[in-house]
Structure 1
């Protein structure tokens, strides 16, 4: 609740919204119900309460400290009980209808269209809880469509792959919001779905995001181990784009482990593999890894190695080339440019760049990666002790953002 800034009344309201979305019926969670959950008076909530908690917090109720739901038959409608038990198990939102017609390509296309719309929204906004929740809900509907059978093996694999990708999108929204533990809960599910899909690309994506959560938790040894998984994957052996990203992730982890020679060797391998990429259209999720992104990730390596001038050069190339639609990433990399300038003593320029970065964020954005970077910029500038009026003014202004 503290992480999401929720009061007891606000949590009750969000739980009721979740219940309405899941069942089509208004929820009846009160602030008193929330107090009972917080105080420990309710240790084993009923199924509908569990489903609402999991929807709001995007993690199993066990991770919130509760036992499995009470499911007394007299207290809930049998259909609702079945719906909530399935939802609490993290498999689907509702029981499949009887007599389900055979699933076909039109169903797959419909789900995929929703997914691509979510990808587009995420690239603009970033870190928004509503995108994370929409992704969780879409993944549940995809899984629910398979629950009654009637799908070919080909469709099942395609659907499980898409459910894994959608769950990874939810995880990345949590990563962008700087909530790695919530992201890990999503990724545990995504990894199982990728296994059901028997898809190496889907598995690679899960491991890529797992590595990012390790890095956010400052566990750079685990991040380096995750990058080794990426580099040795079958898809990386077949596709130089995936090989390049694996080497790049490894370079970043090694730089933070203070292994400069090994990090630069990995960065060189990433550059060589990137140069071998073919002109084929890659999977939707990895289209972000273009030349602009390559330079941005390289800047992270140079920053970790203390080469802030080289990092700044990379970021200028990134911002000159990044597509206009990637608003979230433009703001993020502009914030990193501000930080690189501050670390070189260019205080006034860093202030102007930081203001520009914050101005790029849309009002609905939850990208704490960006605001945390701006907070780091402010710390560097404050440490200089400068009393220039425009800098002092920026420091006070930036406190309103972060």
Structure 2
């Protein structure tokens, strides 16, 4: 039996463990049929390890609802009898029902339970998927704010146990951080700071160290975008000294990595490379099993991408290019926003080494990856800087001059 790599990657993209995917499938079945599903972790295990190659019936419907695509896109054999095409109006009706039930349930019932939390989390996973495709689109940011507001409204009436309260406050903080990250990707750091002030309060109400760490991470990114690198370095120091970083080397590594980046921009090369070395050492100590939390984004490919930023700031563009090639070879295909962003940075690294024609080709490829409704201003800004570097060479090569004019329309 062969492992279903496509399904495994989709679970990684949404940060779902086997138990969590089973729970999300059961929620989807409740929404579709009105009856709770009976999907177990064992069912998911059979889907993952290849024992089940052609899911049928309720299992097929649940998978398609959770991932928003036909089962063949999740690595399964197509149904033996093709189902009729789904009516778009029916699908929109289902999605509205799926996203509205939790809010309606809060008014129908006095007590919030685990089912409410799971329903909200299913909406959050759909937002994560859209963010990985579109980047800093205002639609993602607005939907995240709206979801966080509904979660808080459900809590306002009381009627939840302390355990459920903390889960929902944590989820509201994570959703608000997603809104903040969409603003960061749109190069709107002040808007992101407003979201993060709110997320900080929610993480405190959840009394959750991982949520607080995520807020600090995003705050550090907004400081960096505002060119306040001393503040970014201070924020990274808080991250690497946090309780969660002391427990988990992956969190410690990210704190060291963020600090290395800030120090490089403060023109402290020795301190920056020392921090980068600590990031590598602690990353190597991190457990290799899949993490279901937000930190799972910090994979080997992401480690190399963030390392490239440090080498770029230190002026070592050949090392930055090497890191970016490793990143693009390993990054999951579904992470369209990140693939475009890192391809744009590869173009910039090539331009800074004088490989002008290659940089043009790479930049064109980066722009072509972005969906028409993408809001990833970071990618556009990187391509604009690439154009400035190429223009500064004074080249008169017709293909390069044509690319310069073409790229003006992108940025």
Alignment TM class, shorter chain as reference: 0.7 to 0.9
Shift of 1:389: 0.1
Give the alignment partner of residue 306 of structure 1, picking from 302, 315, 318.
315
Query: What residue is the counterpart of 1:360 in the other structure?
Result: 369
Query: What residue is the counterpart of 1:279 in the other structure?
Result: 288
Structure-to-structure mapping, 1:65-76, within 5 angstroms? none
CA distance in 1, matches of 2:353, 2:106: 63
Query: What residue is the counterpart of 2:135 in the other structure?
Result: 126
The runs of 5 or more residues in structure 1 that have no matched partner are: 1-93
1:264 aligns with 2:282: no
TM-score when scaled to structure 1? 0.75
CA distance in 1, matches of 2:220, 2:305: 17
Q: 1:98 to 1:295 in 2, by over 3 A?
A: closer
1:334 aligns with 2:351: no
Shift of 1:283: 3.8
Query: What residue is the counterpart of 2:358 in the other structure?
Result: 349
Q: CA RMSD in A?
A: 1.4
CA distance in 2, matches of 1:161, 1:283: 14
Query: What residue is the counterpart of 1:162 in the other structure?
Result: 171
TM-score when scaled to structure 2? 0.74
Shift of 1:96: 10
Shift of 1:120: 1.1
Give the alignment partner of residue 249 of structure 2, picking from 240, 248, 260.
240
Query: What residue is the counterpart of 1:319 in the other structure?
Result: 328
Give the alignment partner of residue 405 of structure 2, picking from 393, 396, 400.
396
Shift of 1:143: 0.4
Query: What residue is the counterpart of 2:119 in the other structure?
Result: 110
Structure-to-structure mapping, 1:3-402, within 5 angstroms? 100-402=109-411
Shift of 1:284: 3.5
The 3-state SS of whatever aligns with 1:329 is helix
The 3-state SS of whatever aligns with 1:201 is helix
CA distance in 1, matches of 2:391, 2:138: 32
The 3-state SS of whatever aligns with 1:306 is coil
Equivalent pair of 1:338/1:354 in contact (CA under 8 Å):
yes
CA distance in 2, matches of 1:364, 1:172: 17
- The number of equivalent residue pairs is 309
Q: Tell me the alpha carbon deviations over residues 240-293 of structure 1, each in whole angstroms, 9 at most, x when there is no partner.
A: 110000000000000000000000000000000100111333243222110000
The 3-state SS of whatever aligns with 1:366 is coil
The runs of 5 or more residues in structure 2 that have no matched partner are: 1-102
The 3-state SS of whatever aligns with 2:371 is coil
Q: Tell me the alpha carbon deviations over residues 334-367 of structure 1, each in whole angstroms, 9 at most, x when there is no partner.
A: 0000000000000000000000000000111010
* Poorly superposed stretches of 4+, deviation over 3 Å: 94-100
Q: 1:209 to 1:157 in 2, by over 3 A?
A: same
Query: What residue is the counterpart of 1:31 in the other structure?
Result: none
Q: Tell me the alpha carbon deviations over residues 51-83 of structure 1, each in whole angstroms, 9 at most, x when there is no partner.
A: xxxxxxxxxxxxxxxxxxxxxxxxxxxxxxxxx
CA distance in 2, matches of 1:280, 1:125: 28
Asked which structure has the greater RCO (Cα within 8 Å, sep 6+), the reply is 2
Shift of 1:296: 0.3
Answer with 388-397 or 115-124: which moved more: 115-124
CA distance in 1, matches of 2:295, 2:274: 23
Equivalent pair of 1:378/1:395 in contact (CA under 8 Å):
yes
